[in-house]
Structure 1
């Protein structure tokens, strides 16, 4: 099921607005490489929420505020 390659247009993907919600308390060390790559790649907006991996449960109001703010900026 997850072994089929995904074909995509890299130029199209790079032109889309992107938001990375970094849940930092606790920060899962397994996604540290992704955190670093996003911060080094142009085109990403990064917001940090001091919560665990499920902000939709632990901090839904803050998450929604960030998502709506991002949606309103594009």
Structure 2
């Protein structure tokens, strides 16, 4: 793609800079922000906006994975 092979031992950052490719994290962040902007422009009556405005402070979280694993180990022993 850019004339280097794996034997050349070139750093990924150097090749990315030379080719002009962005980091995957940057692409994911940009997509996520674009999605949130899309949701923000939706009407308040849309389901995704209702869920966004939903107050979850009084709802308990589910069991932790460690608790489930400990219970399973105890049952299987």
TM-score normalised per structure 1: 0.23
Report which of the two structures shows the higher radius of gyration computed on alpha carbons: 2
Greater relative contact order (CA < 8 Å, ≥ 6 in sequence): 1
Q: Which has the higher helix share?
A: 2
Question: So what's the TM-score if we normalise by structure 2?
Answer: 0.22
